[in-house]
Structure 1
């Protein structure tokens, strides 16, 4: 029985200990509960009141004293099911009402939202963002396009090695213009090449409207990324990509 499960139900470690103590004792006074659990009476009493409010503990008077009793452990499953039902309702409300209404509050500026990310964690965030944004496209053909140079490939998926598997699982296609030789063939992927002479910089540009992500390597192969969120910029980059794609 892990505390993590109780945490999800809203029971902190002290409340969990008191509930388990009551299961062992049966109906008991605050004195007996405090002695058995090792928690002082004042703190135990306050926590028992919280447990009562959550429905996992009840009490009854016995003379001038108040006795507490633990509810059947099956109550925990009922609490979990209630929380899941409430969460499902909240998700539906966010999807169909709250988020659309919040979007209406945003002014329709032709403004570019720029975000910067660094290190493997930052690159992983960008890669996951690509999957999330493209998977939400309303079109049946979910896809994005990429410019990718050879030097960055060994470092790009280092923080997210199963990126390609996740992309394929989501049914997302990618068109790649590879700068330099190499690149792996994969399902739902089409690749064309630009041949170059001499060294090229390590760079990766993903176009997934309304966003574009630019990933590059600094000294010591330290990755960094810039994500531009702008329909106009993404559209311009898409036109450039499509034009070049048609020429290769």
Structure 2
């Protein structure tokens, strides 16, 4: 990442970075000199300097009837990063303990399953991330899957480090593989069932209460997925999975 990409994380726009860097080079300068050095027009430079003053990245002193500006040391940027990190940590704590529980109480509790549809690699990536996030926050930190041989090489195409992320989060998985194959992985148990004459059918079913996800391939190996959020449905699927697991 270059300097502008990094400082964008501190909510500094590219022209603000140009003005700040110009001031570092000039030492102390008038608005006209700063505008000339930075390549930003004078009016915009004036507005940028006002913003940088508020951020504590620039200071000034009067010289006659005009102001001359100077840049604060670059270490100030690290202070801004630390302050933002602390604000985000505080916001995360409040979201976890107060805001999200309050918002969840506003959700309609009709008892009807919520069904969402996803397609394409981008959609499958969202589903895979949802599996990890939901399983990580569950009491057991586990989930179960049925996985056919035909879908394996396409499933993690949009999320190649999925297994690494799962292991890093200490999430366990039980997999019933339909058809031989599949790689062994940490925190994973695998059993197999014969696919008979249906080896070409691509399907993946993940059971991660209170949700279950069903992923399949359409024509041209185009992935689609349906996610059902229902404690009753996911628990019924989990019970049937566990029963079959014990029989294999």
Same fold (TM over 0.5): yes
Q: TM-score, normalised by structure 1?
A: 0.91
Hey, what does 1:99 align to over in structure 2?
100
Deviations 1:204-227 (A, max 9, x none): 111000110101111122211111
User: Equivalent residues in 2 for 1:28-107 (5 A)?
Assistant: 28-107=29-108
Hey, what does 1:241 align to over in structure 2?
241
**Greater shift after overlay, 193-202 or 86-95?**
193-202
Secondary structure of residue in 2 paired with 1:186: coil
Secondary structure of residue in 2 paired with 1:185: coil
Deviations 1:108-162 (A, max 9, x none): 22122211222222222222221111111123xx211111222222222233333
Secondary structure of residue in 1 paired with 2:34: helix
CA distance in 2, matches of 1:24, 1:14: 15
After superposition, the Cα gap between the structure-2 partners of 1:30 and 1:169, relative to the gap in structure 1 and judged at 3 Å, is: closer
Secondary structure of residue in 2 paired with 1:215: strand
Deviations 1:83-132 (A, max 9, x none): 11111111111111111111111232212221122222222222222111
**Greater shift after overlay, 68-77 or 30-39?**
30-39
Provide structure 2 residue ranges, at least 5 long, that are not aligned to the other structure.
none
- Compute the displacement of 1:53 (Å): 1.1
CA distance in 2, matches of 1:196, 1:90: 49
Secondary structure of residue in 1 paired with 2:228: strand
CA distance in 2, matches of 1:192, 1:120: 27
Q: TM-score, normalised by structure 2?
A: 0.91
Provide structure 1 residue ranges, at least 5 long, that are not aligned to the other structure.
none
CA distance in 1, matches of 2:237, 2:149: 20
Equivalent residue pairs, number: 246
User: Alpha carbon RMSD of aligned pairs, Å?
Assistant: 1.8
Deviations 1:35-77 (A, max 9, x none): 3223222111111111111111112222211212211222111
